[in-house]
Amino acid sequence: MPALAALGVARVSAGSSIVEAAYGLVARAARELLTDGTCKALEGGLGYGALNSLLLAGPRR
């Protein structure tokens, strides 16, 4: 992003990539739960407190 900003780019869109990655994680986690009975794919996710703080803070610019 810093290199793009240096070139004068003011806005970059990730399009649907972020939500596609989230759906991919959901699919992997569900498959793991059904086949292995574990949920290791979900490790490292945001806790409820952190997620709520982000949502309450609103967009950052």
| Number of helices followed by number of strands (H, E) in the chain | 3, 0
According to the model, what pLDDT value does residue 8 have?
95
The pLDDT value given to residue 54: 87
For residue 57, what pLDDT is reported? 84
**61: pLDDT strictly greater than 70:** no
Residues 5-60 have pLDDT tens digits of: 999 999 988 889 999 999 999 999 999 999 999 999 999 998 999 989 988 987 76
Domain boundaries, the chain: 17-61
Q: Which phi and psi angles does 15 have, rounded to 5°?
A: 55, -135
Determine contact, residues 38/32, Cβ cutoff 8 Å.
Answer: yes
Output the pLDDT for position 10: 92
